[in-house]
Amino acid sequence: CSGQKCISICYYEEENNWWVSKLVEDFDSTVNCVCWHKSNTYLAAGSMDGTVRLFTAAVKGVDDKPTQLFGADVSFKKPGQIICKIEINSWVHDICFSPTFDSIAFVTHDSCIGFLPIEEGIVPQQEQVQRVRCSGLPHLRMVFLSANRLLAAGHDCNPTVYSKEGKGWVEKKKLDEATESSSEPTSSARGAAFKKFESSSTMGIEAGGGSKGATISTAHHTCITDMATCASWYKGNTCTKVVTVGMDGKLKFWDLANLEDSFSKMSL
C-alpha cells in the first residue's frame, strides 16, 4: 500500500539477485489495504478514493499460467490490469477474501461492512454489493472466522461478529459482553489524580462535572487498530482464537471456542 496512489507488486529476480516491483497506478488517493487471492494472480485493494478494485497480479515469466477465474476476456499482459472497480463513496479501511474465496469483504468509514460475491467466469458488478450497517462506530480491521462468520473491530472498542444467513450477512453480537460498570470511588487524592489523568489520556474525558469517574467497560478503552489469528488457532475450518491490539497499548486474546454455542442459545 502507498500514500503515492499506487500499489507495488514485488517479485524476486533470481538472475540478478534483486527484488523488482511493478507499479499499479490507477488510484485517485491513498491505498489503505490490499489482499491476495489464493492463486497469487489476483489482488483486491481498497483506497481513500472510496473504491474497491480487483486487479490481475500475475507476472509473466514468474507465475504459472493464471486460471481465468473472471472469464476469458480478462487480460494478463501485465500486472495491474483492472477487472472491476466498485464505487463505495467512503474510505475503505480493510479488505479481504473469504476463506472459500467466493466473496470479498471490506470495511468502510461510514460504519458499514460490504460484501461482494465472486462467481467463477463472471466479472463482479456494482449491483451485487451487499452493505451491512454497523450498530456502532466504524470498524478498521476484520478477519474471517469461517466461511459464514466474520469478526470486525475499530473505533467502537468492541469486536463485533457478523454472520451469513441465507444469501446475506447480518450483525450478530458484540464479542465483549462486559456490562457497564458504575463509577468506582477513589481511595485517595493521589488515586483521584491518577484517574483524572488516565481518563484524559486514554478516553479524552475530563474527569469533572457530569463525566466524573467515567469508565469504559470494554477490554479496550480506545480504538482497536489491528487483529490477527494464526493456523494453530483453527479447528477444522473455523478460527477459535483471535488477538486484538488497540491505541490504549493493550493486547487482548479472545477465545472463540464457544462462539457457535452462544449463537445457538441466541436463536432459542
With beta carbons less than 8 A apart as the criterion, state whether 204 and 139 touch.
Answer: no
Torsion angle of the four alpha carbons 181, 203, 132, 225, in this order, in degrees rounded to the nearest 10: -120
Q: How far is CA 233 from CA 106, 142, 239, 255, in A?
A: 23, 16, 6, 10
Tally of CB atoms within 10 A around 254: 19
Distance CA 139, CA 109 (A): 7
Structural domain includes residue 178: no
Residue with cell string 479447528: 235
Q: Are 161 and 151 in contact (CB under 8 A)?
A: yes
Give yes or no for a contact between 183 and 215, defined as CB atoms under 8 angstroms apart. yes
Separation CA 219–CA 262 (nearest Å): 20
* Cell 458499514 found at: 112
145 class by beta-carbon count within 10 Å (0-12 exposed, 13-18 middle, 19+ buried): buried
2: domain CATH number is 2.130.10.10
The pLDDT of residue 215 is: 66
Give me the domain span that covers residue 81.
1-133
| Strand residues in 175-239 grouped as ranges (E) | 224-228, 234-235, 238-239
Name the DSSP class of 266. H
96 within a domain of the structure (yes/no): yes
Determine the residue type at 50. G
Quick one: cell of 75?
487480460
pTM beyond 0.85, yes or no? no
In sequence order, the 6+-apart residues with CB closer than 8 A to the CB of 15 are none
pLDDT per position in the chain (268 positions), as tens?
A: 678 899 999 989 888 899 999 898 889 999 999 999 988 889 999 999 999 999 998 888 888 877 888 887 888 888 888 999 999 999 999 999 999 999 999 999 999 999 999 998 899 999 999 999 999 999 999 999 999 999 999 999 999 999 999 889 999 999 887 544 444 444 555 566 656 666 666 555 555 545 454 567 889 999 999 999 999 999 998 999 999 999 999 999 999 988 876 665 554 3
Task: Give whole-number Cα distances, 62 to 9, 34, 37, 70, 174, in Å.
Answer: 12, 20, 16, 21, 44
Please indicate, yes or no, if residue 126 is contained in any of the structural domains: yes
Please tell me the distance from the alpha carbon of residue 218 to that of residue 223, in angstroms, as a whole number. 11
Total domains, the chain: 1
Residue 18 lies in a domain: yes
- Note whether 116 and 129 are within 8 A (CB): yes
Query: Could you tell me if residue 189 is inside a domain?
Result: no
User: What is the Cα–Cα distance from 217 to 180, expressed in whole angstroms?
Assistant: 5
Cell numbers for 185, please give them: 470511588
Alpha helices in the chain (DSSP H): 189-198, 259-266
- Asked if the structure places residue 218 within a domain, the reply is no
122 part of a folded domain: yes
Does a structural domain hold residue 123? yes
